[in-house]
């Protein structure tokens, strides 16, 4: 193994152990009927891959009682904010696929999506107190037009606004598979999130995942050292570190975190 990879691996291990030790006395709250809950929704990064799986995608099936675990955003955000988070990430999905299941998996409606999961995945008669959305990298990988991404995110923002639900959105971050064309779309989309969507919808807060994932360089082709398990997915240490980044970002922007 090249020395740079060894060094990155050791840094990641050290950071993971440090984070685990610091949070050892804390546990994510369990779901309690009648209490507020949040939803983490999106793609494989929302899910926690490659190390973890979400309740919608355990061996491709829904398992209602599958718990979030340390090293998943749903777990780490729950620890930091004291609010249970349902993990509704599904690896490989685009924003259009998330949109197709949005009413069921985020808005707690009874909807037959046709994906092999039940028509209900959230408690009846409820809605999330906060939505955390991470999706978009698979759109870039598949060449989905910018206009489609924008239309889907307007839908996400509008449906949340209609219900007065805060929506926290990660922008598109680093990936070693980035091409010039993908970067052009990613840059345009990230600017649009901040300059248009978040302006039109006060319930939307944008977290700069590109800044975190690139180690502060804002270069789509650079991965933060010691934070990644492969060319696109954070390691467990990375997810823990990113949850801290989210908390700092929300506090710094004056936005309320999950509640």
In this predicted model, what pLDDT tens digit does every residue of 44-66 receive, in sequence order?
Answer: 999 999 999 999 999 999 999 99
**Residue 101, domain extent:** 3-253
Scan for tokens 């808005």, then name that residue: 107
Beta-carbon contacts of residue 65 (< 8 Å; ≥ 6 apart): 55
Distance of alpha carbon 200 from the chain centroid: 22
Burial class (CB in 10 A: 0-12, 13-18, 19+), 45: buried
- Number of compact structural domains in the chain: 1
Q: Averaged over 145-153, what is the pLDDT?
A: 99
Closest CA to 32 of 78, 97, 92, 93: 78
Is 98 part of a structural domain of the chain? yes
Residue 117's domain is classified under what CATH number? 3.40.50.1110
Distance of alpha carbon 138 from the chain centroid: 13
Is 198 part of a structural domain of the chain? yes
Q: What are phi and psi of 170, to 5 degrees?
A: -80, 135
Is 217 part of a structural domain of the chain? yes
Q: Which helix or strand (DSSP H or E) is residue 133 part of?
A: strand 130-134
pLDDT for 8 equals 52
Is 174 part of a structural domain of the chain? yes
Is 258 part of a structural domain of the chain? no
Q: Which residues pair with 132 in a beta bridge?
A: 40, 168
Is 41 part of a structural domain of the chain? yes
Rounded CA separation 245/73 (Å): 11
pLDDT for 151 equals 99
pLDDT at position 143 over 90:
yes
- What's the chain's average pLDDT? 93
Is 259 part of a structural domain of the chain? no
Task: Give the model confidence (pLDDT) of 21-43 as tens digits.
Answer: 444 457 899 999 999 999 999 99
Is 120 part of a structural domain of the chain? yes
pLDDT at position 156 over 50:
yes
């Amino acid at each position: 193994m090249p020395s740079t990879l060894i060094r990155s691996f050791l840094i990641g291990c050290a950071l993971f152990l440090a984070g685990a030790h610091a949070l050892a006395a804390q546990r994510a709250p369990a779901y309690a009927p009648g209490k507020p809950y949040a939803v983490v929704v999106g793609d494989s990064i929302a899910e926690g891959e490659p190390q973890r799986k979400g309740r919608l995608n355990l061996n491709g099936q829904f398992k209602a009682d599958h718990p979030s675990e340390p090293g998943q955003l749903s777990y780490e955000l729950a620890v930091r904010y004291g609010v249970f988070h349902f993990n509704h990430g599904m690896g490989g999905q685009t924003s259009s696929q998330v949109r197709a299941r949005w009413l069921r998996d985020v808005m707690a409606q009874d909807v037959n999506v046709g994906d092999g999961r039940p028509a209900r995945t959230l408690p009846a008669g409820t809605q999330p107190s906060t939505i955390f959305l991470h999706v978009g990298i698979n759109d870039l990988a598949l060449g989905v037009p910018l206009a489609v991404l924008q239309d889907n995110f307007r839908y996400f923002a509008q449906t949340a606004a209609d219900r007065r639900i805060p929506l926290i959105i990660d922008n598109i971050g680093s990936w070693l598979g980035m091409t010039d064309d993908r970067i052009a779309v990613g840059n345009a989309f990230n600017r649009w999130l901040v300059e248009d969507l978040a302006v039109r919808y006060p319930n939307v807060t944008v977290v700069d995942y590109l800044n975190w994932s690139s180690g502060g360089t804002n270069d789509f082709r650079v991965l933060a050292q010691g934070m990644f398990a492969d060319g696109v997915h954070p390691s467990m240490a990375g997810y823990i570190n990113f949850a801290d980044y989210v908390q700092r970002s929300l506090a710094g922007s004056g936005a309320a975190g999950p509640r």
